[in-house]
Amino acid sequence: MTGTILHLLTRLSEAGDDAILSGDLAAPFFGAAFDRLLAKRIIVEQAPLADWEVCDACECGLPCRPIRKAGDAFRAECPLDRQQDVDLTEADLRVFRISGEALASAMGAAAGFGAAPKLATEKVWRLGDTPSGRAVFLALEPAALTGDGIIVSLRQAAQGSDITILAPQLSAEAARRLDDAGFHLIETLAVLVPASKGLGVAIDVAALAPVPLVPTLRVRRATAEVQWDGRSVILSRQIFPVFERLLEKALSRDQVASQSHVEGTTAREAKDLIRELRDAFKAAGFTDAESKSLIATVRNRGYRLGVPASEVVVEG
Ligand SMILES: [Zn+2]
């Protein structure tokens, strides 16, 4: 884990309700950035510690041991064994509480979202929207995403937008439930990247959208090459225009090429051209059924490519 204070706060807040930052954990981060977090009340200083836990397996019977001033520093003394005394600095005695709401604000700002986050449901904030229109939510605790109504609540809060959820690591079952609902789930710590400005952390907005599926059909016009399902076919100069006419339809609304559209300006019949096209795929190792599923017959209407437009990539 990279060592920014916002990483630390995220990790601590994920642990649960009273997100407390102890002075000894905080001390390495004391400085200007830490002061900004205090000023924004993302962390709020509490009364300093007045006592310390008793030493392991101690027989003193005390619930805790008092902290006494010892010169410039402090000491938690064991009444039974001086060797168990703990020397403490002033920083060790400081205690901070992490404000979930202010932390959500800081995360929204780190992602570059303009408006303040809105509480969507208990401990889940709607941070903002990505430029591509995804609604981004932040859950500070795993428990915030396991309630019965959570999927409905998030859908309502997203008002029809696609949903990305930043969250702590969830159980496999909880993660699957959100995934089945079509939500894109990301571990918060995975999208935090160091930044020189602000609170020292930015959220990589590009990482908030799911990675698109690998296209299954790739067409290179310059070489008349068609890659499909891990195999590659180079079509002849005579037959490639037929494939291109099917391709053009596949990328349009109707998707079905009529016989006359397949024939184009050739003097040949569509069924012969289609057979030749399928033969070219079979020669490259596809089965008869595979070539007929790629170059599909639509009864009484014509032919179509058996690949959705979203899975087609055409290069020049
Ligand atoms: Zn003791």
- Give yes or no: residues 284 and 239 share one domain: yes
- Whether residues 116 and 44 fall in one domain: no
Residues 39 and 81 in one domain: yes
Q: Mark whether 108 and 94 lie in a shared domain.
A: no
Cα-to-centroid distance, 94 and ligand 1 (Å) = 22
Q: Which of 50, 73, 98 is the last residue of a domain?
A: 98
Q: What percent of the chain has pLDDT over 90?
A: 60
Q: Which pLDDT band holds residue 151 (cuts at 50, 70, 90)?
A: very high
- Under the banding of pLDDT at 50, 70 and 90, the label for residue 215 is low
In a shared domain, residues 69 and 149: no
Q: Ligand 1 centroid to 60 CA: how many Å?
A: 6
Query: Total structural domains in the chain?
Result: 3
Residues 191-208 have pLDDT tens digits of: 988 887 777 788 988 889
Same domain, 297 and 231: yes
Question: Is the predicted pLDDT of residue 174 greater than 90, yes or no?
Answer: yes
118 in the same domain as 91: no
Same domain, 149 and 244: no
Give the C-alpha separation, 59 to 80, whole Å.
8
User: Which CATH number is 266's domain given?
Assistant: 1.10.10.10
The predicted structure's pLDDT at residue 1: 39
Q: For residue 195, what pLDDT is reported?
A: 83
Q: pLDDT band at 214, cuts 50/70/90?
A: low
Q: Is the pLDDT of residue 212 over 70?
A: no
Q: What is the pLDDT of residues 9-28, one digit of tens each?
A: 888 888 776 789 999 889 99
Q: What is the residue range of 124's domain? A: 100-208
d(CA 96, CA 54): 22
Cα–ligand 1 centroid distance for 52 (angstroms): 11
| 233 & 284 share domain | yes
Q: What is the pLDDT of residues 74-94, one digit of tens each?
A: 999 999 999 999 999 999 999
Q: How far apart are CA 35 and CA 43, in angstroms?
A: 9
**pLDDT of the residue at 57:** 85
Can you tell me the distance from the alpha carbon of 26 to that of 38, in angstroms, rounded to the nearest whole number?
A: 12
Residues 106, 161 within the same domain = yes
Task: Answer yes or no: is pLDDT of 182 > 80.
Answer: yes
pLDDT of 240: 96
Contact in structure between 142 and 170 (CB atoms under 8 Å): yes
Of 75, 98, 121, the position where a domain reaches its end is: 98
Please tell me the predicted confidence (pLDDT) of residue 21.
Answer: 92
Q: How far is the CA of 69 from the centre of ligand 1 (A)?
A: 18
Q: Are residues 11 and 91 in the same domain?
A: yes
Top-confidence residue, 229 or 192: 192
* Sheet order of strands, 95-98 included: 20-22, 95-98, 43-45
Q: What's the pLDDT at 17? A: 64
Give 49-77 pLDDT, tens digit per residue: 999 999 988 899 999 998 999 888 999 99
pTM: 0.63
pLDDT of 154 strictly over 90: yes
pLDDT at 277: 96
Average pLDDT of the residues of the chain: 90
Q: How far is the CA of 27 from the centre of ligand 1 (A)?
A: 26
Choose the final residue of a domain: 174, 208, 242.
Answer: 208
Distance CA(23)–CA(8), nearest Å, equals: 13
* Ion ligand 1: residues, Cβ under 5 Å: 55, 58, 60, 78, 84
Residues 63 and 82: their CA atoms lie apart, in Å, by 18
Q: Which of 271, 263, 285, 277 is nearest to 305 (CA)?
A: 277
Whether residues 158 and 243 fall in one domain: no
